[in-house]
Amino acid sequence: MSDPSSAPNTAPITVPMIRTAKVRDGHAPLVMVTAYDAPGARIADAAGVDMILVGDSVANVVLGYEDTLQVTIEDMAHHVAAVARTRPNALIVGDLPWMSYHIDAADTVRNAAVLIRAGAQCVKLEGGSVRAPMVEALVRAEIPVMGHLGLTPQSVNAMGGYRVQARDDEAAAELIEGAQALVSAGIFATVVEVVPEKVGAALTEALEVPTIGIGAGPLCDGQVLVMHDLLGVTARSAKFVRRYAELADVATEAVAAFAADVRSGAYPADREVYH
């Protein structure tokens, strides 16, 4: 898996490899980024990440929606397939969208199968112990499942906005109990989003499977960011995001330079013309 030099992975990453990747057992922290299309997947894989998450954040990051509730299983399959066509060594995680795993176990398995057939190697779903029956059904159908706890964007209306979760002891204990129920049901790893650092640490300590933090502090077994955030493509980013580039600025300057060259007649030049 990815070493600290971020060399590309030379062999495919598998679910069993991720399941045992706890930092306390001497494993390097896991790295996951989102990608929604073939160029993004190629960049992520060349950078040597362990996992590519085809996240339902495609809704607000790429498709212009206000929240993630607008994307369907068909939308997600379309993006998973684009990523899968690049045949990355990184493990492809397909995000189950809102209402694709909320009705019953049979519906959940059918929907997850759509993402697996599109090329995902596992699926991710949001929520605590209430999701345990769905996780069990997926695992029985041989579909590996990643959890997602803490700030779960699909619950934006129930939570009343995007806020730090599990701030008091009771809520933190509930989060950890929920995570343990999901581990018993069979998840192989879990995302933990926007919780205090000590909750990220306590969860990581309590679970046998790796925790992948996003705004959950440094003591998780790995970290995940939305690629468009870390590249500086999105206009605004949350406190936990580190912007490693400002690609929106670079891209705007490049397109403005093209527009200026067209208007001045500097483009196309002789070398850019077929004679």
Give the C-alpha separation, 27 to 57, whole Å. 28
Q: Which of 126, 142, 170, 193 is catalytic?
A: 193
- The one-letter amino acid at 50: D
Q: Is 79 helix (H, G, I), strand (E, B) or coil?
A: helix
Closest to ligand KIV by CB, 22 vs 148, is: 148
User: What is the number of H-type helices and E-type strands within the chain?
Assistant: 11, 8
**Burial 216-255, CB ≥16 within 10 A → b, else e:** bbebbbbbbbbbbbbbbbbeebeeebeeeeeeeeeeeeee
Active-site annotation holds for 193:
yes
Measured torsion, CA atoms of residues 45, 48, 51, 56, in degrees rounded to the nearest 10: -50
- Looking at the Cβ atoms of 60 and 169, the one nearer to ligand KIV is 60
Q: Nearest approach, Cβ of 176 to ligand KIV (angstroms)? A: 19
Nearer to ligand KIV, 244 or 258 (CB): 244
What is the smallest separation between the CB atom of 208 and ligand KIV, expressed in angstroms? 21
CB of 184 to ligand KIV, least distance (A): 22
Which residues of the shown chain bind ligand KIV in the complex (CB under 6 A)? 34, 53, 55-57, 95, 148, 191, 193, 214, 224, 226
In a 3-state reduction of DSSP, which class is residue 153? helix
Dist. CA 242–CA 33, nearest whole Å: 13
Residue placing its CB nearer to ligand KIV in the complex, 57 or 260:
57
The least CB distance from residue 11 to ligand KIV, in Å, is 25
- What residues act catalytically? 193
